[in-house]
Amino acid sequence: MTTRTNHGTNPRTNPPTNADPDHSGQPLPARVRRAPFTGGRAVEAGLNWSQQEIWALIEKSAPDHHVYNVVEAFRVPAGVRPTEDECLDALSFLLSRHEALRSVFPRRPDGRVVQRVLTEGELPVEFVDTPTTSGDEIGVLERFFATRRFSFADELPMRLVLLVTEGRVWGGVYVFSHMAVDWYALRHLAEEVTEYFRNGRTLPPLPPGTMTSAGLAEWQESPEGIRRRDRTLAHVTALYRDRPPLALPPAVADLPEASAYRQASLRSHAAQHAAARIAVDTGLSVAAVIVGATSLLLRELTGSDRIDLHLTSSQRFGRDSRTTVATMMQESYFSVDLAGADLPQAVKRSWLAAITAFQKSGCDADSMDRLLAELGGGPDAPLRFAYCLNDRRTLPADTAVRRDVPAAGLLPRTVFRRLPVTEQEPFYLIVDDGEETGDEGAGPYLEFSLTCDIRHVTEARMESFLRELERSLVALADSAA
């Protein structure tokens, strides 16, 4: 199962004017059935730090907060094909198992939004009967659900429509609220679903001490959590007390805000092959290789030796949180000096800077907002970070590396595409991965998706940035072969 998070502010789409938890207007005839759940406890807690960040973005994007939903179509493997009742049983099991999936987000009388874990309830599930498993219906449903907003105060943070042929479920579309899950939580859920059906429709109990979203929020208010917050604030203060973060290049166009953003992607087998080889040769991670190469190109784009980035930190550092089903991702503050650095040096320096950023990340939204206002020009002009890199790769780190194949030989398979804009960000680079099958397209790839404000970074420069990123990785990998 793969996922996609529509992540950004001020989207251009035009959603319905009211939240629609019952999915009225569904484009295909559907039967609604319900998956009941009974959880272990009821609890109400504040939002954890990641949820605070997401909620702030949701409020800024209103009424278009559907862009912070995770929406994806999927197909069930041919060897599984469960019945409707088996799917409902699996949902009941997972809803009862994970507090985040049975949480709502009401607003208290004082205006504070909280997370409320329910002990019992039902999830409505839609079933659509199809004559075949051709898949024509999936795209229609995915586009429809992509614009449906959640009613956070009273709706569970999950929706599901399943496609049925001859009594068997063969595919569907899921939607999750980003308030409940992040990228790693969804990957873990996908693994649990696979294991559930493979192992006789059951799973071992969660390990004792497994962190929950509400438990995480409570820990973050503890003395230990406050110390973590203060370390993060001190780190950001030390970096930007005397200077602003890296600015965008000078403006090259005068456009209205609504038409100032473009998005493009580069899918590259060559870059994946090259980054993996460089990682093995340097003893560092593929993530470090990508950050280093990106930072070096930003030096060329901006003319600055000091590169500042927002990196996305999983916040899953402890054994009790690595498989937590919750939203835990937070932005971390990365800064590296690349004066005189070539690509191998940039990779090593960026790795050290990223480790520091991850170790000193984690803070509540209000405290960080106050600090950025103090370091900038006040609440109306806080310190802003123009460049963001979000590494969302999911392939195992131990993917085999072939040394008998030059990375440059894979360049003809690279695909560059212009994409519909899903973010309005000045410079936002997303790194995904995947694996194609077939004689000609077989093998793993990296996909770089770049959104830019073309008032500062032209469309031609966007494409050249992505292609230079690929070429730099390929050149370094092949030179060391």
Q: What is the pLDDT of residues 351-389, one digit of tens each?
A: 999 999 999 999 999 999 999 999 999 999 999 999 999
CB 94 within 8 A of CB 38: no
DSSP count for the chain of H helices, then E strands: 11, 15
Token output for 373: 């206002």
CATH homologous superfamily of 31-218 equals: Chloramphenicol acetyltransferase-like domain (3.30.559.10)
103 vs 393, more confident: 103
Residues 6+ apart with CB under 8 A from 30: 23, 126, 127, 128, 161
- What pLDDT score was predicted for residue 422? 81
Q: Looking at the predicted structure, is the pLDDT value of residue 212 above 50?
A: yes
State both tokens at 29.
Answer: 């005839």
Of 389, 329, 398, the C-alpha closest to 184 is 329
Q: Using alpha carbons only, give the angle 401, 407, 411 rounded to the nearest 5 degrees.
A: 135
Distance between CA atoms of 49 and 425, rounded to whole angstroms? 22
Q: Is the dihedral of CA 274, 279, 285, 291 positive or negative?
A: negative
Average pLDDT for the chain: 90
Can you tell me whether residue 363 is helix, strand or coil?
coil
pLDDT band at 113 (very low <50, low <70, confident <90, very high): very high
Domain ranges for the chain = 31-218, 235-479
Q: d(Cα 32, Cα 24) in Å, to the nearest integer?
A: 12
Domains 31-218 and 235-479 alike in fold:
yes
Q: Tell me the three state secondary structure of residue 396.
A: coil
Instruction: Specify the range with the lowest mean pLDDT, choosing from 139-143, 163-167, 270-274.
Output: 139-143
Q: Are 100 and 158 in contact (CB under 8 A)?
A: no
Task: Classify domain 235-479 at the CATH topology level.
Answer: Chloramphenicol Acetyltransferase (3.30.559)
pLDDT level of residue 11 (50, 70, 90 thresholds): very low
Residues 439-463 have a mean pLDDT of 91
**Which backbone phi and psi does 54 adopt, to 5 degrees?**
-65, -45
Residues in CB range of 297: below 8 A, 6 or more apart: 465, 468, 469, 472
